[in-house]
Amino acid sequence: MSSLPPSIIDKDDLWFLEVVSELRTCLSMLLGPEVALALNLRRGHGLSFEALHEKLVSLSERDLIQVYSVENEQQVMLACEDFGRALAESRPRGSDTFAYQLTARGGATWEHYARPDWSRYLTAWSSLEPRECVIEANSREAAEAEYRLHEVDGSGHQPVAESKRGEALVPWQATYWKVLPTGYRLRYDWVPRPAGFSGRKPLPGRKRWYVSLALDE
């Protein structure tokens, strides 16, 4: 962990840090009356446009977040008018013009409060072209356990067992801001499941690997 987190931080601050603890988020997702729905959360930030502007400026001035252009990934300057422009050019459910992410200090601050267990962290995603699924986890055992769930879940993707291949990741870029010493990547091809497949229901939500202090109220 890098420098100690700032001494002045509140639950509203943590909401914005937790939203991007895994993935960067477009500013357009923070706008409009249905923020919680857009982000698939129990609650939104509850701020007016003006208060949201002030919050983003405050977080940036404390070196907790960066706001940048999606097109060229250049960080927006810290001037108040730049954040106003970034928000003004974003629209609810509109084009993804600007986004924000954690800085190194922001990541350290989130870890300080959320106490994540990185040994339990994993990601899994699939693509249609090519028909492939990728699992990344802290260890081969964790990746294989996730694969076994994919074999029996209720999705339309049936793993092709003979296509499974794995590789050690040294180091492992677990998230866009967090690098861990080691990890494991498992890939497999998939085909559509046959009609009438009777498997389990879709995978249940995984137990959270960190303490949520801001999103669950």
What average pLDDT does this structure show over 198-204? Answer: 59
What average pLDDT does this structure show over 212-217? Answer: 76
pLDDT category, 90, cuts 50, 70, 90?
A: confident
Looking at residue 76, its pLDDT comes to 66
pLDDT category, 10, cuts 50, 70, 90?
A: confident
Helix (H) or strand (E) holding 26: strand 25-26
Q: Distance from CA of residue 103 to its chain's centroid?
A: 14
101-130 per-position pLDDT tens digit: 999 999 999 999 999 999 999 999 999 989
Q: In what order do the strands lie in the sheet with 98-102?
A: 25-26, 98-102, 65-69
152 vs 92, residue with greater confidence = 152
**Region class of 46: left (phi > 0), else alpha (psi between -120 and 50), else beta:** left
- pTM across the whole model: 0.85
Whether omega for the bond prior to residue 171 falls within 30 degrees of 0, making it cis, is: yes
pLDDT category, 93, cuts 50, 70, 90?
A: low
By DSSP bridging, strand 165-169 and strand 157-159 are unpaired
The pair of three-digit structure tokens given for residue 58, joined into one six-digit string: 């405050």
SS3 category, 140: helix
Compute the mean pLDDT over every residue in the chain, rounded to the nearest whole number: 86
Looking at residue 210, its pLDDT comes to 94
47 vs 204, residue with greater confidence = 47
User: How many residues can be counted in the chain?
Assistant: 217
What average pLDDT does this structure show over 75-100? Answer: 75
pLDDT category, 193, cuts 50, 70, 90?
A: confident
46 vs 70, residue with greater confidence = 46
Whether the predicted pLDDT of 1 surpasses 50: no
CB of 118 within 8 A of CB of 173?
no
13-68 per-position pLDDT tens digit: 999 999 999 999 999 999 988 899 889 888 999 999 999 999 999 999 899 998 88
- A 10 A CB-CB count for 171 gives 10
Distance CA 19, CA 31 (A): 14
